[in-house]
Amino acid sequence: MANALLEQYELKDELGKGAFSVVKLAINKKTGEKVAVKIIDKTQASSDSDEKRLKTEVEILKKVKHSNIVCLKDLFDTPQNLYLIMELVTGGELFDKIVEKGQYSEKEASATVKKILSSVDYLHSVNIAHRDLKPENLLLKGEDETDVMLSDFGLSKIINQDTMMETACGTPYYVAPEVLSAQGYDKEVDLWSIGVITYLLLCGFPPFYGETLPEVFEQIMKADFDFPDPYWKDISKEAKDFISKLLVVDAKKRLTAKQAMEHPWIANGGSANKILNIKGEMEKFNSQRKISLPNKK
């Protein structure tokens, strides 16, 4: 099967690395199309939970098709490796691009969040919860920093209507209170994460922060956040209202993806004139998250 891959694709430079995987650029020999090949070492991902996650990730990638979700084009399976042929996105991580650009408007933030919501609304409509929405998983298709693509379904879950999810997973800054309380949770966790991401997009730092994990979790459990000056002084009331309706402890009172898309801040496209001066804060946060707090698994 690896031979079949090499017959069709010419493997090129390495694009990135994960715990059990490496991503390489490849070119389709017939069409000349550039793709990304995620090569997963099955011998490394050999525990039952790793195998289950891998199986779910592939099942989800085969199932989903949306313009703001990185798409699976093909796969090749061998005893040693699994090769996922993925759509190539070339713009890098969203937050890196914002830091590089330096200037960013509230209108652009609204357009970006709208695309994230659109992809999440689609996932929820086909009973999939992403469960790990964070900056690292928001990639850009190309140069346009609002053309955001959702990636990495390693922690995603196909939801059974009769049972709630219980696994504590996700990344500390973005994890919803119901995940921490271990009472069972549903797809609303993704909307909480979008609230955190939106907050970050508008000021450059997260709403919940502490020196230790327990401090972060304590703030999350109470939705203990505010909009401090001078960072939030010029940001619209609609933007603050949007975030406040997502960062709600009671998951049932949180906006759904569909409702969030109808919120004035999203529907009317934010405020065109408000340029966000977040380069310094975002740069600081960006460098910290690269050596981020460990995942709670």
Catalytic residue IDs = 132
Q: Are strands 104-105 and 72-77 parallel, antiparallel or unpaired?
A: unpaired
Residues forming a β-bridge with 93: 139
Tokens 């090499």 sit on residue: 6
How many angstroms separate the CA atoms of 228 and 161, rounded?
A: 40
Phi, psi of 161, rounded to the nearest 5 degrees: -60, -25
How many angstroms separate the CA atoms of 107 and 121, rounded?
A: 21
How many angstroms separate the CA atoms of 125 and 129, rounded?
A: 10
Q: How many CB atoms lie within 10 A of CB 213?
A: 12
Edge to edge, what strands does the sheet with 34-41 contain? 9-17, 21-28, 34-41, 81-87, 72-77
Buried/exposed code over 96-129 (b: 16+ C-beta within 10 A; e: otherwise): bbbbeeeebebbbbbbbbbbbbbbbbbbbeeebb
Phi, psi of 164, rounded to the nearest 5 degrees: -95, 155
